[in-house]
Amino acid sequence: MPIESVREGGTLIAKAEARIDGANAKAFQDDLESVIEREDHAVILDLENLFYISSAGLRVILLTAKALQRQETEFAVCGLSDSVKEIFQISGFDKIIPMHPTVHDAKNAL
Amino acid sequence: MTERPNRILVVDDEPDVQPLFSQRMRRDIRAGRLELLFAGNGVEALEVLNRDPDIDMVVTDINMPQMDGLTLLEHIPKIDSDIRAIIISAYGDMKNIRTAMNRGAFDFVTKPLDFDDLRVTIDRTLNHLKEWREALASRDKLVALQNELDIAHHMQQSILPTQFAKGNDWEIFASMEPARNVGGDFYDVVPLEDGHVGIAIADVSDKGVPSALFMMSTRTMLKGAAIGLLDPGDVLKEVNALLQEGNDTGMFVTVFYGVYNSNTGELTYANAGHNPPLIVRPDGSSVLLPMTGGIALGVIPEFDFSENTVKLEPGDTAFLYTDGVTEAARSDEDFFGLERLRDIFAETPPKSPKEANDVTFAAVHAFVGNLPQTDDITCLALTRSEKTP
């Protein structure tokens, strides 16, 4: 299932759903790559409906962050549940990827 | 079919090496398990390797006339890429150890030679080689995916130690239950000088052959850095920098690395994005080791890892685990979780590191029931005994 996404101005907002783990990480990566355009100024990944992410999922997010950094596109995540936020904090990913409570906050911070 | 003896080529320019190895390995030689061949430098070694296609592994010194051990390492794969090499280096000679690892050495031992350690290292290498060959042999018979996972699985299994260093008033136990589709957990125990011991637990992102290779290199780099550097923060910083070179795969590894000082009972640690371990008290109560603000290795090129030190009182157990424990699931949203783990210890305070492992595995098994295991489950425990003998 392709991921749900909207584009507001130059900002792409993409939603990740349910869980990202070893079983669907590759599909998630392909989906995300297919919706991101080179012209996007910023990409916000909305994790509001995500309740679990494994290290395979984090790897896709890291690859995305690195690719966006190369094309000088801003990147942020938002709407993290407590458990997903904890996974970002323990792994230290919160140090390299800005986290915001809501899409609105993320847009304001760009 | 009887198995032929494993054939090992020992390369060293010291004249007493041949009688020493022959004497110390005589039981294995007599029992037909090992055959030793000798060469005095890299050039001689290559001649022997070219002549004898049945050599399984090479144990080589570094400094030798005509051709040194590091140059020899570069030539070995051209003769046979399946030959595994162990190097003998000076204690703490990180530069050469690292060069050797980069050139494909499987493991290393340090001088002065401890033959017990050498035998364990040789056994592990030969075991790895056997599994590797079996995996390669079965390659053609299996569908590509399953085959890859099998190879990764064997690689992962063959690097994990199953015998652990112990002291007068402390002991260590660790084990891993691999998932069917191979996660990439590993643990290691590195004996250090002056009553110190390094303990590590790690989890590589994703699975399959690429992550198994990533795991192998992390483990060798970590072991090398642990021997060369005493501070856990420096060790993680070093491994991070090494892993970063040429890593565009987005792969990363979370590592907890601590050094236990048996003279003081202190555990000094740094944490690269790994789940914080627990200290379990003799009454079963437990505390989480405070986070030190690290980040998984391989994510950013330069990072300084902060350290923290805690004291283990007699009877305390430091319990390291991977997310295979806390994220074991019996449904999409029902995880085993840290609190359940702490409850288990509260109910059954572990008296030994093995007991800490056993109650954890039993509880996780009971929790998930018959559902397939989706991630490796790995635990390492270090217990400071209640009474000193």
* pLDDT for the residue B181: 62
Confidence of residue B364 (pLDDT cuts 50, 70, 90): very high
* pLDDT for the residue B386: 83
Does B389 map to a domain? no
Q: Give, rounded to a whole angstrom, the gap between the first and last alpha carbons of chain A.
A: 29
Does B144 map to a domain? no
Q: Is the pLDDT of residue B90 over 50?
A: yes
Which CATH number is B174's domain given? 3.60.40.10
- Alpha carbon of B178 to those of B26, B142, B175, B183, B355: distances in Å? 36, 20, 10, 7, 19
From B250, B323, B332, residue closest to A59, measured CB to CB: B250
Q: Is the pLDDT of residue B140 over 60?
A: no
- B145/A contact by beta carbon, under 8 A: no
Q: Is the pLDDT of residue B180 over 60?
A: yes
B118 and B25 inside one domain: yes
Question: Which DSSP category does A94 fall into?
Answer: G
Q: Exposed, middle or buried, A65 (CB in 10 Å: 0-12/13-18/19+)?
A: buried
* Inter-chain CB pairs, A–B, below 8 Å: 70
Strand partners, B107: B86
Does B179 map to a domain? yes
B372 and B285 inside one domain: yes
- Cβ <8 Å between A96 and B295: yes
Which CATH number is B93's domain given? 3.40.50.2300
Residue B316: name the closest of B358, B340, B286 by CA.
B286
* pLDDT for the residue B137: 63
Q: Is the pLDDT of residue B365 over 90?
A: yes
Section B216-244 average pLDDT: 87
Residues B325-359: tens digit of each pLDDT: 998 888 877 889 999 999 999 999 999 999 999 99
- Cβ <8 Å between A93 and B296: yes
* pLDDT for the residue B387: 67
ipTM above 0.95, yes or no: no
Domain boundaries, position A41: 5-109
Domain tally for chain B?
Answer: 2
B196 and B341 inside one domain: yes
Q: Is the pLDDT of residue B3 over 80?
A: no
Helix (H, G, I), strand (E, B) or coil at B277: coil
- Cβ <8 Å between B205 and A52: no
Section B91-107 average pLDDT: 82
Distance CA B174, CA B196 (A): 18
Distance CA B362, CA B364 (A): 6
Helix (H, G, I), strand (E, B) or coil at B6: strand
Distance CA B44, CA B65 (A): 11
Residues A41-70: tens digit of each pLDDT: 999 999 999 988 988 889 999 999 999 988
* pLDDT for the residue B162: 86
B204 and B313 inside one domain: yes
Residue B325: name the closest of B177, B205, B123, B192 by CA.
B177
Q: Are the C-beta atoms of B31 and B61 separated by less than 8 Å?
A: no
Which residues of A fall within a CB distance of 8 Å from B275?
A: 90
- Identify residue A60 by its one-letter amino acid code: V
B184 and B247 inside one domain: yes
B171 and B129 inside one domain: no
Does B150 map to a domain? no
* pLDDT for the residue B246: 65
Section A36-40 average pLDDT: 88
Helix (H, G, I), strand (E, B) or coil at A100: strand
- Cβ <8 Å between A55 and B205: yes
The proportion of chain A whose per-residue pLDDT surpasses 90, expressed as a percent, equals 60
Domain boundaries, position B114: 6-133
Does B268 map to a domain? yes
Confidence of residue B376 (pLDDT cuts 50, 70, 90): confident
Residue B113: name the closest of B17, B33, B198 by CA.
B17
Which residues of B fall within a CB distance of 8 Å from A90?
A: 254, 273-276, 291
Cβ neighbour number for residue B94 with a 10 Å cutoff: 14
Domain tally for chain A?
Answer: 1
* pLDDT for the residue B1: 38
Angle of helix B115-139 relative to helix B144-159, nearest 10 degrees, comes to 170
From A51, A59, A96, residue closest to B205, measured CB to CB: A59
* pLDDT for the residue B144: 55
Question: Which DSSP category does A95 fall into?
Answer: G
Q: Are the C-beta atoms of B349 and B280 separated by less than 8 Å?
A: yes
- Identify residue B195 by its one-letter amino acid code: G
Chain A residues with at least one Cβ partner in B under 8 Å: 18-19, 21-22, 25, 51-52, 54-56, 58-60, 62-63, 66, 89-93, 95-96
B283 and B239 inside one domain: yes
From B207, B323, B335, residue closest to A22, measured CB to CB: B207
Q: Is the pLDDT of residue B91 over 50?
A: yes
- What mean pLDDT, rounded, does chain B reach? 88
- Which of B206, B247, B251 should one mutate to test binding to chain A, selecting the residue with the greatest count of A CBs within 10 A? B206
Residues B283-308: tens digit of each pLDDT: 999 999 999 999 999 999 899 999 99
Helix (H, G, I), strand (E, B) or coil at B211: helix
Section B86-98 average pLDDT: 84
Distance CA A35, CA A11 (A): 12
The residue assigned the tokens 């910083």 is: B237
Q: Is the pLDDT of residue B119 over 80?
A: yes
Which CATH number is A75's domain given? 3.30.750.24
The proportion of chain B whose per-residue pLDDT surpasses 90, expressed as a percent, equals 53
Confidence of residue B131 (pLDDT cuts 50, 70, 90): confident
Does B188 map to a domain? yes
B86 and B172 inside one domain: no
Helix (H, G, I), strand (E, B) or coil at B17: helix
**A50/chain B closest Cα distance in angstroms:** 11
Distance CA B34, CA B4 (A): 9
Confidence of residue A11 (pLDDT cuts 50, 70, 90): very high
More confident of the two residues B1 and B53? B53
Section B212-234 average pLDDT: 85
